[in-house]
């Protein structure tokens, strides 16, 4: 597996940042993931964000948000490409699983 490979949680984080728009910060990502039933804390999220930035899937900048200095994250073209590739792989897997299920139902 490539050193650029990322897992499901990383893909979910990229998806949240992509859907929320530019300049998202960690707390908003945690809240959105929790809203969908994923319980991760800062100790998991922030190292993951840093890894995604090192792999150039995200870029970060510092901004003043609500009077606090926050690091905000924006998905890069490389990150969007990773999401698109993951979506294709998931669709392919679901198609195969559904096809197998239909074949088993007919048997």
pLDDT tens figures, 66-92: 898 889 999 999 999 999 998 888 888
Average pLDDT over residues 1-23: 81
In the prediction, which pLDDT does 78 show?
Answer: 96
Tokens standing for 78?
Answer: 């490389």
Nearest-angstrom CA–CA distance, 97 and 61: 41
Could you report the per-residue pLDDT of 48-64, keeping only the tens digit for each?
999 999 999 999 999 88
Which residues pair with residue 63 across a beta bridge? Answer: 70
Q: Is the pLDDT of residue 96 over 90?
A: no
Number of Cβ within a 10 Å radius of residue 60: 18
User: Is the distance from CB of 4 to CB of 52 less than 8 angstroms?
Assistant: no
In the prediction, which pLDDT does 1 show?
Answer: 46
In the prediction, which pLDDT does 103 show?
Answer: 74
Q: Is the pLDDT of residue 106 over 90?
A: no
Question: Which of the pair, 23 or 26, is modelled with greater confidence?
Answer: 26
The full DSSP string for 5-74 is: ---HHHHHHHHHHHHH-SSEEHHHHHHHHHHTT----HHHHHHHHHHHHHTTSEEEEEEEETTEEEEEEE
Please, which residues have CB within 8 angstroms of residue 59's CB and are 6 or more apart in sequence?
Answer: 53, 73, 74, 76
Global pTM reads: 0.80
Q: Is the pLDDT of residue 3 over 60?
A: no
Question: Which of the pair, 47 or 24, is modelled with greater confidence?
Answer: 47
């Amino acid at each position: 597996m490539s050193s650029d490979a990322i897992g499901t949680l990383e893909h979910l984080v990229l998806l949240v940042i992509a859907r929320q728009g530019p300049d998202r910060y960690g707390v908003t990502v945690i809240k959105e993931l929790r809203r969908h039933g994923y319980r991760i804390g800062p100790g998991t999220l922030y190292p993951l964000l840093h890894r995604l930035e090192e792999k150039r899937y995200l870029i970060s900048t510092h901004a003043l948000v609500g009077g606090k200095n926050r690091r905000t994250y924006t998905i890069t073209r490389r990150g969007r490409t990773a999401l698109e590739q993951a979506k294709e792989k998931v669709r392919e897997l679901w198609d195969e699983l559904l096809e197998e299920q239909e074949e088993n139902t007919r048997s």
